Amino acid sequence: MRTKKGIVTSNKMTGTIVVSVHSYKIHPKYKKRYRVTKKFYADDKDNTCNEGDVVIIKESTPISKLKRWVLVEKLS
């Protein structure tokens, strides 16, 4: 199972958090690194996370239309 580390950007939904994960890619022609941000919807059953928390999420079977990740650990 894949795991990702990111920052919680929204916790407005009940039982769900939105986690932003930053990664870097290299442009094929100019060879310059640029940052890409992707949002993942993760399951947070206990509603423990707040905006700005650093969390680890892991891949799971589909829980709903958009949720395919589960909260593993809250780092800060």
Domain boundaries in the chain? Answer: 3-74
Buried b (16+ CB within 10 A) or exposed e, 39-49: ebbbbbeeeeb
3-74 maps to which CATH number? 2.40.50.140
Provide Rg for the chain, Cα atoms.
14
Which pLDDT belongs to residue 29? 98
Which pLDDT belongs to residue 76? 85
**Model confidence at 1: pLDDT above 90:** no
Which pLDDT belongs to residue 17? 98
Residue range 67-72: mean pLDDT, rounded: 97
CA–CA dist 60, 52 (Å, integer): 23
Q: What is the pLDDT of residues 16-57, one digit of tens each?
A: 999 999 999 999 999 999 999 999 999 999 999 999 999 999
